[in-house]
Amino acid sequence: KAGVTQTPRYLIKTRGQQVTLSCSPISGHRSVSWYQQTPGQGLQFLFEYFSETQRNKGNFPGRFSGRQFSNSRSEMNVSTLELGDSALYLCASSKQVATNEKLFFGSGTQLSVL
């Protein structure tokens, strides 16, 4: 069974640009959660999607958005990039809602904003 796949693996952008990250969950998993990880802040929850609906949201500005498709694949978009958005972005999938189950993470997208 294939694991969680995130693309691209690395990304370099400049301030003001926008970026779209992609996540394909494990087959049969309906929940996808997104996290931002930085050395100082650790894993910070962005949002969770379940059956195409945003179920939960973290404390991030509206520049961060996401969506989930009918095949459970998810995308995350960050508009008007800032230097502070440089981080490892991780997505995680689970069969049901994330807070009741163990999470399966992808390898992440390392975003660098110059």
Binding site for other proteins (CB under 8 A): 4, 33, 42-45, 56, 58, 90, 92, 98-100, 102-108, 110
**Closer Cβ to other proteins, 15 or 57, answer by number:** 57
User: C-beta of 31: minimal distance to other proteins in Å?
Assistant: 12
Beta strands in the chain (DSSP E): 5-7, 10-13, 19-24, 31-38, 42-50, 53-57, 64-68, 74-78, 87-94, 104-105, 109-113
**Closer Cβ to other proteins, 70 or 100, answer by number:** 100
User: C-beta of 47: minimal distance to other proteins in Å?
Assistant: 10
User: C-beta of 8: minimal distance to other proteins in Å?
Assistant: 14
60 vs 107: CA distance, rounded Å = 22
Burial class (CB in 10 A: 0-12, 13-18, 19+), 41: exposed
User: C-beta of 107: minimal distance to other proteins in Å?
Assistant: 5
**Closer Cβ to other proteins, 9 or 15, answer by number:** 9
- Tokens coding 60: 């991030």
